[in-house]
Amino acid sequence: MKNEGGRMKVEAKKGEPRVVRGTALETAKPKRGKFFMTSYTPQLRYSWDAGQAISRYLEELRQGRLIARRCHGCERVLIPPRMFCERCFRPTDEWVYVRDTGTVTTFSLCYVTWDVKRLKRPEMPSVIEIDGASSGMGILHVVKGVRPKEMRVGLKVKAVWKPSSKRTGSITDIAYWEPIKGRR
């Protein structure tokens, strides 16, 4: 394309017009009102489907309960729940409530926050195997109420729930986990 006197000339091609009417922006004086301009902030809203199993799981968390799925093929109780058993290659069969107590199976003493600020008292992210669910799986969460030196694999813990008015249907509806006294 060539710009000639405010009109765009197009190299001649078969079946196309030789001249495109209009004014090229680079030759128009960019004064206010010379041509139409607009600006806006895009509303980038979207919905995310958590899926059948996790949607129910999150709704039960809002009610202060932990729910899992049982597979009749391997008889495992899966938490977080899933509608398909990856071991049996078949759909899982039923919903089962499990307890809000469990056992620490692995943990970390974390002396920095997520944005790398130093902490004097470490956070203790842990994987907690849930009572009533099968072993070998668990929930990643945070344990509090135990001294870092006393933190250990095998510690029995119980969920500390947020008050029901503060729950939103999230894993953080459990504020943290704390040791069960007398079950160390």
Among 58, 71, 124, 155, binds Zn ion (CB under 5 A): 71
Nearer to Zn ion, 73 or 125 (CB): 73
On the 0-12 / 13-18 / 19+ scale of CB atoms within 10 A, 165 is: exposed
**Contact with Zn ion (CB under 5 A) among 54, 64, 73, 144:** 73
For the bound state, the minimum distance from the C-beta of residue 95 to Zn ion, rounded and expressed in Å, comes to: 15
**Residue nearer to Zn ion on the CB measure, 51 or 91:** 91
Using CB under 5 A as the binding rule, whether residue 137 contacts Zn ion is answered as no
Judged by CB under 5 A, the residue of 54, 83, 88, 110 near Zn ion is 88
Q: If binding is defined by CB under 5 A, does position 124 make contact with Zn ion?
A: no
Give contact residues for Zn ion (rule: CB under 5 A). Answer: 71, 73-74, 85, 87-88
